[in-house]
Amino acid sequence: MTDNAPILFFDSGVGGLSVVAPTRVLLPQAPIVYAADSAGFPYGTRSEAEIAARVPALLGRLVERYRPRLVVIACNTASTIALAAVRAALDVAVVGTVPAIKPAAAMSRSRVIGVLGTAATVRQPYVDDLTARFASDCTVLRYGSAALVEIAEAKLAGAAPDPAALARELDGLFAQPGGAKIDVIVNACTHFPLLEPEMAALVPAGVRFVDGGPGIARRIVHLTDGQTWPARAEDVLVFTRLGEAERRLATALDFARVEAL
């Protein structure tokens, strides 16, 4: 393992930057390769079969090119569907992202939790399993939103989120039977923490948000304990399709290099 070996973060878009941010706080010298599957974006509206075939193949190519010390699938949808297949295919440690139902259950006083993710994530049996294991005494309401993914991408490109559009998506949780009692919302898509400040202004007082980003950052620190880092890191942003929209987005982000896979 060389000092320059990066941590590879992977998502369909740039939502995984919500996982990169707490990682950079704990490991400021870590070189980062952030790969966005712009050609396959968004994953939340794709079938399980498409994601299960696409993600391991793309990560195989990325690992071959960048030789990372660690792979982070910074995407709930890809993790809940393809994590086992990726781990079986790659000869490198892989960290996944799963809905933060366990900490949400520990936080909730009303015992009613909202899970806000993509449609592909919220329908997964993995979510049923997490609920049974960690929130069996809670009512867990789910809502899948494709719109919030697009709004988060647009925000990072410089467009201010529309409060009315955010409120419509949040109503997908609160308008369900029992939804008025929600006191914790799980951001079960890595894009959604990017909108947390705007969403927090629209929910009832006392409702809190939780996501897996800080926990994943701590896991990365644990897995890289004792490893050495370069004196200066050069971060790389990779797109599977590098068109005009991706170039505009890259301009708004802080990466030393931008490349196409």
At 214, list the tokens: 């800080």
Q: Which of 30, 101, 105, 189 is catalytic?
A: 189
In sequence order, what DSSP letters do the residues of 75-119 get, joined into one string? -HHHHHHHHHHHHHH-SS-EE-----HHHHHHH-SSSEEEEEE-H
At 234, list the tokens: 């050069």
CA dist 223 → 95, 123, 252 (Å): 9, 30, 31
Q: What is the CA radius of gyration of the chain?
A: 18
The two beta strands, 184-187 and 208-210, are: parallel
Q: Which of 17, 33, 59, 75 is catalytic?
A: 75
Residue 138 catalytic? no
Q: Which of 17, 9, 1, 7 is nearest to 193 (CA)?
A: 17
Cβ(46)–Cβ(120) under 8 Å? yes
From CA 197, how far away is CA 209, in angstroms rounded? 10
- Indicate which residues carry an active-site annotation: 75, 189
